[in-house]
Amino acid sequence: MSGIARGRLAEERKSWRRDHPYGFVAKPETLPNGTINLMVWNCIIPGKSETDWEGGYFPLTMHFSEDYPRRPPKCKFPRGFFHPNVYPSGTVCMHILDEYSEWRSSITVKQILMGIQDLLDTPNFANPVFAERSQIFFMVSDNENFSSHFENLMGIVSIRYEFGSFLLF
């Protein structure tokens, strides 16, 4: 593992433990033998208050490469997560995660997770990864009954997530 990547991720972990937004979880993967894998982080993004996402907890995995922070992490929701800016594989498509566009090595885990939380409620319709999902989202969001349709679109598993072994610290 790159010394630069490991050092940066260790600092990110310390910073996160000292100060992170309420309701968010981000922690490195613990392997079966008890060692910490700094290259994979298990995260929870809470739905933003006063949106249709409020009350939901959305699992996300961040995969860091040996080239981090020169290259952004791959951020993935569970396969099949329904959103115009999420591929069927669960990979998030967001401008600050594009290494050829707006990625900067100074962007933190905290900024990424808060950006994804914002993206959930305000999709980038100009750059959808799935045109059909974008059209459905756009049509339903214009409808007064958006909330009633929303849970059906997302699926119960995506809306309510049990914390399981995640600890808020």
Q: What is the pLDDT of residues 25-41, one digit of tens each?
A: 999 999 999 999 999 99
- For residue 124, the model assigns a pLDDT of 82
Task: For each of the domains in the chain, give its residue range(s) and CATH number, in order of start.
Answer: 3-159 (3.10.110.10)
Give strand ranges (E) for 51-161. 57-63, 74-76
Q: What is the pLDDT of residues 38-48, one digit of tens each?
A: 999 999 999 99
Residues taking part in catalysis: 93
Compute the distance between CA of residue 77 and CA of residue 21 in angstroms, rounded to an integer.
Answer: 19
pTM of the model: 0.80
- For residue 33, the model assigns a pLDDT of 97
Compute the distance between CA of residue 169 and CA of residue 158 in angstroms, rounded to an integer.
Answer: 23
Instruction: pLDDT tens for the chain, 169 residues: list them.
Output: 469 999 999 999 999 999 999 999 999 999 999 999 999 999 999 999 998 889 999 999 999 999 999 999 999 999 988 888 999 899 999 999 999 889 999 999 999 999 999 999 888 877 766 556 545 555 555 545 545 555 555 544 344 444 444 433 3
Write out the DSSP string of 5-62.
HHHHHHHHHHHHHHS--TT-EEEEEEPTTS-EEEEEEEEEEEPPTTSTTTT-EEEEEE
- For residue 126, the model assigns a pLDDT of 75
In three-state secondary structure terms, 151 is helix
- For residue 16, the model assigns a pLDDT of 98
